Amino acid sequence: MASVPAQPFDNTGEDPTARSPLILNHTDFGSVTNDILKGNESAKPPKSWYFALAVSFTMMSMLGAMIGYLIFTGVGVWGNNNPVAWGYPIVNFVFWVGIGHAGTLISAILFLFRQKWRTAINRFAEAMTIFAVICAGTFPGIHIGRVWLAYWLFPIPNQMDMWPQFRSPLLWDVFAVGTYFTVSLLFWYLGMVPDLATMRDRSTTKVKQLAYGIASLGWRGSMRHWHRYERAYLLLAALATPLVLSVHSVVSFDFAVSQLPGWHTTIFPPYFVAGAIFSGFAMVMTLAIPARQLWGLKDFITMRHLDNMCKIVLFTGSIVGYAYSMEFFIAWYSGEIYESFAFINRAFGPYGWAYWIMVSCNVITPQIFWFKKARTNIAIIFTASLLVNVGMWFERFVIVVTSLANDFLPSSWGMYEPTWVDVMTFLGSFGLFMTFFLLFIRFLPVLAIAELKAIMPIADPHGQGHSYEEMSMETDEQAKIAEEDE
């Protein structure tokens, strides 16, 4: 890892006549495989990995302990009260589901748009999605109170002849998040099969050969298999694209379908989706920056990738800023006193501090990415991405808590304060997330090796003069005509 040279080559240029390389310092396939799998195949991971795993595992155990305490004692250990019945668990649920969205955006939407740079970040962004959805799913699961009756969420025939209420947005959530998790997992796994086969074929110990051998399903790189595989991958991308937009829309329905001032707005679905992608990209950068450093992946996750991600953060952050101002405008323009009050109360009421943390982190911070100097400075990117994560958590806090705490009748107002159990459960969920992530980067292919090879200039079977773009512009019809001519 120490031998990786400092990058003298700047591939963040915008010159349209010269295509910037997406993989630096590698001109053959073998060295790509070697360098990506270096972190997995080294006898021992770096010390910092052990340290991070120890910390994460401790935090995850804390989550387990907190959930145990909750179940044995009851939801009274939380700060949830009447009127704020949702509190931390739902704030955390929305936060984690949102984080997941960037992974699917990268793997599906950028794939459909033929953004080739996605191949360097899609694998671990998808992994992030799955682990984030696991964290997200934990919170409503424990928020229901009687955890042992969680199966009532699902349409399972039972002796009481009792079925879920399909007209409730909370049940739509069960289906949306359940589908999202399943499809993300399948997409991630299917993408990983060829790379698991690569790891199997390079394994030196019996245990690894067996484990990767089973996981790779006997993949042998057959082009007849690749043909169907590529079709399946395209179909999954096409399915995951509307799915990811639907998931956070459905999450926003939990709020928008109610009649509470501050929740009952039509702007919620697009606003939630943009916010989700915004927070998710921030989390991708938070993870990518240390991972590329530690695992020696700077040739694959280059400054250009970070630069591109910063632009997406800037774009989605601006949408979120627009949504904040539009909410205010509509609250005033509607002439609805409860609606107007809800928003003035958000900004200047008892939770005003949370509102202004949200605005400064989500609206002001990303504006720094207008400057290329900021988009190519690791320290600034990392700090900004952390701030965005903080800001997006506060956004959910503001939405959930302020609307519930002060609604219509002042006599039924209340204040919400989290307890230590709330805070430690939330921190524990980061432990769960990071533990999974650290195990993933050690034991599974952290980048999409096969996909990265396919975007190298030497991968083109028609020589280097014939670019990939021209090839893909060729339609099936043209190919057929060409075949018939022969």
Partner 1 sequence: MNEVTSTNVAREDLYGLAAEFKTTPGIYHAAEKVHAAGFKWFDCHVPFPVHGLDRAMGVKMTILPILVFFGGMAGLLAACTLQIFTNSLEFDIWALVPLVGYQFEVSGKPLLGAAAFVPVAFEMTVLFSALTAVFGTLFLNKLPMFYHPILKHPALTRATDDRFFLVIEARDPKFSRDEVESFLHSLDPETVIALEK
Least separation in angstroms between residue 217's CB and partner 1 is: 4
- The angle subtended at Cα 197 by Cα 192 and Cα 203, nearest 5°, is 120
| Alpha carbons 43 and 21: distance in angstroms, whole number | 31
Candidates 423, 459, 469, 478: give the one binding partner 1 (CB under 8 A): 459
139-158 residues near partner 1, rule: CB under 8 A: 155
Asked if residue 481 binds partner 1 (CB under 8 A), the reply is: no
Of 146 and 225, the one with the shorter C-beta distance to partner 1 is 225
Please, what is the minimum distance in Å from the beta carbon of residue 465 to partner 1?
11
Task: Read off the tokens for 261.
Answer: 């001032």
Contacting partner 1 within 32-91 (CB under 8 A): 33
Binding to partner 1 by CB under 8 A, coded x per residue (else -) over 400-429, reads ------------------------------
How many angstroms separate the Cα of 108 from the Cα of each of 118, 328, 450? 10, 33, 17
| Residue type for position 140 | P
87 Rama sector, left if φ>0, alpha if ψ -120 to 50, beta otherwise = left
- 240 contacts partner 1 (rule: CB under 8 A): yes
Which of 10, 41, 230, 469 is the binder for partner 1 (CB under 8 A)? 230
The dihedral of CA 316, 321, 324, 330: what is its sign?
negative
Q: Which of 49, 57, 69, 226 binds partner 1 (CB under 8 A)?
A: 226
Does 395 bind partner 1 (CB under 8 A)? Our answer is no
Assess 222 for contact with partner 1 (CB under 8 A): yes
Cα dihedral 152/153/154/156 (nearest 10): 10
CB 273 to partner 1: min, Å: 14
Question: Using an 8 Å Cβ cutoff, are 133 and 177 in contact?
Answer: yes
Q: Nearest approach, Cβ of 480 to partner 1 (angstroms)?
A: 9
Segment near partner 1 (CB under 8 A); pick from 50-58, 189-197, 294-302, 386-394: 189-197
The whole-angstrom separation of Cα 224 and Cα 97 is: 37
Residue 436 near partner 1 by CB under 8 A: no
> Residue 116 interacts with partner 1 (CB under 8 A)?
no
Output the smallest distance, CB 219 to partner 1, in A.
7
For 92, phi then psi, to 5°, come to -65, -40
> What is the rounded CA–CA span in Å between residue 37 and residue 33?
6
Element containing residue 191 per DSSP (H, E): helix 169-202
Residue 485 found at the interface with partner 1 (CB under 8 A): no
Tell me the window of 28-36, 91-99, 350-358, 423-431 that interacts with partner 1 (CB under 8 A). Answer: 28-36
220, 414, 420, 423: which one binds partner 1 (CB under 8 A): 220
- 10 forms part of the interface with partner 1 (CB under 8 A): no
For partner 1, which stretch binds (CB under 8 A), given 174-182, 280-288, 313-321, 409-417?
Answer: 174-182
Q: How many residues bind partner 1 (CB under 8 A)?
A: 73
H or E element at residue 128? helix 122-143
* Cα–Cα–Cα angle for 261, 326, 113, rounded to 5 degrees: 115
With CB under 8 A as the contact rule, the residue among 147, 150, 214, 378 that binds partner 1 is 214
Cβ atoms of 105 and 443 closer than 8 Å: no
**DSSP characters over 5-61:** PP---------TTSPPPSS-S--SHHHHHHHHHHHHHSSS--HHHHHHHHHHHHHHH
Judged by CB under 8 A, the residue of 144, 239, 294, 380 near partner 1 is 239
Question: Per the structure block, which two tokens stand in for 121?
Answer: 């970040």
185-193, 270-278, 347-355, 420-428 -> range binding partner 1 (CB under 8 A):
185-193
Q: Tokens representing 171?
A: 């049940």
The nearest distance, CB 48 to partner 1, in angstroms, is 29
Contact indicator for 243, 62 with CB cutoff of 8 Å: no
